[in-house]
Amino acid sequence: MKKRILTGITTTGVPHIGNYIGAIKPALELAKDSDESFFFLADYHAIIKNQNFNEISDSVKDIALAWLSCGLDTDSSYFYRQSDVPEILELSWILNCVTAKGLMNRAHAYKAATALNDKDPDKGISMGLFSYPVLMAADILMFNSTHVPVGSDQIQHLEMTRDIAIRFNHLFKPLFTIPEPIIQDKEKVILGIDGRKMSKSYRNIIPLLENEKNLKKSIMKIITNSLEPGTPKDSKSCTVFDLYKNFASEDDVINFQKLYDDGISWGDAKDILFTIVNAELEPIRNRYNDLMNDKNKINDLLSDGANKARVIAKEKISEIREVIGIKPIT
- Domains of the chain: which residue ranges? 4-189+295-324, 210-290
Distances (CA, A) of 297 to 42, 65, 68: 20, 10, 11
List, as own/partner pairs, every contact residues 189-196 make where C-beta atoms lie below 8 angstroms and the sequence separation is at least 24, other chains included: 190/17, 190/18, 190/21, 190/22, 190/243, 190/246, 191/239, 191/242, 191/243, 192/18, 192/239, 193/218, 193/219, 193/221, 193/222, 193/223, 193/239, 194/223, 195/223, 195/239
Please tell us whether the domain made up of 210-290 is placed in CATH 1.10.240.10.
Answer: yes
Q: What average pLDDT does range 60-80 have in this prediction? A: 96
> pLDDT tens, 174-217?
999 999 999 876 557 899 999 999 998 899 999 999 999 999 99
Asked if residue 21 lies in contact with residue 66, where contact means CB atoms within 8 angstroms, the answer is no
Question: Which percentage of the chain shows pLDDT scores above 70?
Answer: 99
| Chain center to CA of 270 | 28
Same fold, 4-189+295-324 and 210-290: no
Q: What average pLDDT does range 94-103 have in this prediction? A: 98
First to last CA, the chain: 35
Mean per-residue pLDDT over the chain, rounded: 94
Predicted model pTM: 0.92
> pLDDT tens, 258-284?
999 999 999 999 999 999 999 999 999
Range with the poorest average pLDDT among 8-12, 158-162, 320-324: 8-12
Burial of 132 from C-beta contacts in 10 A (0-12 / 13-18 / 19+): buried
Q: Which of 183, 97, 110 lies closest to 137, judged by CA? A: 97
> pLDDT tens, 31-65?
998 999 999 999 999 999 888 888 888 999 999 99
Distances (CA, A) of 66 to 38, 72, 186, 321: 16, 9, 23, 37
The pLDDT, as a whole number, for residue 21 is 94
Q: If one looks up domain 4-189+295-324 in CATH, what number appears?
A: 3.40.50.620
> pLDDT tens, 289-301?
999 988 899 999 9
Q: Phi/psi at 83 (nearest 5 deg)?
A: -70, -10
Cα within 13 Å of Cα(107), Cβ side = 26
